[in-house]
């Protein structure tokens, strides 16, 4: 299959309105492993409706258009797509209730060549429908392994460069064995994350954690370590997915302090000696 760039860029992506309840915010936090220690008062603030805070990475599931690439009118072989990079910018603290609208658009197509695939860059703006205020901007890069060779000339956006020195700080972030089963209830029902047979057919011994769940676990760690536990202090984060995480694994988050309000990060699973998220950046 080959991408037809003019047609793809002209196709309208789904616009999604979503009404939120505090339970949605608590469920999202549980999917990240928040509350594994029920005595951690910092975690309980994301689960207790009487003083609820919202995880900043919950913007990833707000106004989410679903797996729109599956629609044949887009001309993409959806069975051979991989979520490559992801970034999030927060413009104001996220609400724990109300209605939001997500508007997505394709911003760039990169042809890596015939047999080498293509990159599709997608941006989603999330707006509070009552006030009209922009809440967050989500940027996603999808690697379409079977869709190169259409003749595009755009260049890929370079990854955030990592420091060459040893990390300045390291923390560990546990996940729950049920993490993927809980996280999927926030809207991503891909059976790769819940059905053992589907995972096995895809080459995995068992279901893997959603990439954006890993992103959220890392975001929770960034808020704890860089923002003093204040989710409103995280302004932006992003990085490149490099390997899957299995539910129940413990992540190691290595941090580099790049200057006031800036940091680089890398996440790994030490038990498998595997980097799962690389070229990470945070602004706070």
Of 135, 160, 131, residue with least CA distance to 238: 160
For the cut 90, the answer to whether the pLDDT of residue 257 exceeds it is yes
**Beta-carbon count within 10 A of 155 CB:** 9
Q: Does one domain contain both 86 and 53?
A: yes
User: Measured over all CA atoms, what is the biggest interatomic distance in the chain, rounded to whole angstroms?
Assistant: 56
Q: Which residue bears the tokens 């890929």?
A: 156
Which residue stretches of the chain are H helix?
5-10, 22-31, 41-44, 179-183, 196-201, 211-226
Report the DSSP beta bridge partners of residue 87: 139, 238
Q: Which residue, of 144, 179, 201, is where some domain finishes?
A: 144
Out of 144, 159, 181, a domain closes at 144
The Cα–Cα gap between 261 and 258 comes to: 8
Whether residue 193 lies in the annotated active site: yes
pLDDT in tens, 65-112: 988 888 888 888 888 888 999 999 999 999 999 999 999 999 999 999
pLDDT of the residue at 10 = 87
Q: Flag whether 156 is in a domain.
A: no
pTM score, whole prediction: 0.94
- Which tens digits make up the pLDDT trace of 90-103? 999 999 999 999 99
Strands 236-241 and 250-259: unpaired
Residue 63, φ and ψ in degrees, nearest 5:
60, 30
Tell me the C-alpha to C-alpha distance, in Å, between residue 255 and each of 33, 105, 143, 166, 236. Answer: 20, 32, 27, 9, 15
Look at residues 96, 129, 144 and tell me which one is the last residue of a structural domain: 144
Q: pLDDT tens, 170-201?
A: 999 999 999 999 999 999 999 999 999 999 99
Average pLDDT over residues 54-70: 94
- Which structure tokens are listed for 273? 């000696």
| CATH code, 221 | 3.10.129.10
Catalytic residue among 86, 160, 193, 210: 193
Catalytic residue of the set 188, 210, 220, 254: 188
**pLDDT greater than 80 at residue 2:** no
């Amino acid at each position: 299959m080959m991408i037809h760039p003019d047609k793809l860029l002209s196709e309208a992506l789904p616009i999604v309105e979503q009404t939120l309840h505090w339970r949605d915010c608590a469920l999202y936090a549980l999917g990240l492993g928040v509350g594994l220690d029920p005595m951690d008062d910092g975690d309980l603030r994301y689960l207790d409706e009487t003083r609820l805070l919202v995880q900043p990475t919950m913007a990833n599931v707000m106004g989410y258009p679903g797996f729109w690439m599956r629609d044949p009118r887009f001309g993409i072989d959806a069975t051979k797509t991989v979520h490559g990079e992801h970034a999030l910018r927060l413009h104001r603290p996220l609400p724990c209730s109300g209605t939001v609208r997500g508007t997505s658009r394709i911003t760039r197509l990169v042809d890596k060549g015939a047999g080498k695939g293509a990159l599709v860059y997608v941006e989603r703006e999330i707006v509070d429908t009552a006030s009209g205020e922009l809440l967050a901007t989500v940027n996603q890069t999808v690697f379409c392994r079977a869709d190169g060779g259409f003749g595009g000339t755009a260049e890929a956006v370079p990854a955030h460069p990592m420091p060459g020195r040893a990390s300045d700080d390291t923390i560990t972030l546990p996940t729950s064995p049920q993490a993927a089963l809980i996280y999927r209830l926030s809207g991503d029902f891909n059976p790769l994350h819940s059905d053992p047979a589907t995972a096995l057919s895809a080459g995995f011994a068992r279901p893997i954690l959603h990439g954006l769940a890993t992103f959220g676990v890392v975001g929770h760690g960034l808020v704890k370590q860089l923002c003093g536990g204040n989710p409103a202090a995280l302004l932006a984060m992003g990085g490149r997915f490099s390997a899957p995480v299995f539910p129940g694994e413990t992540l190691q988050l290595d941090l580099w302090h790049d200057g006031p309000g800036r940091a680089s990060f890398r996440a790994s699973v030490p038990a498998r000696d595997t980097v799962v998220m690389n070229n990470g950046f945070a602004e706070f």
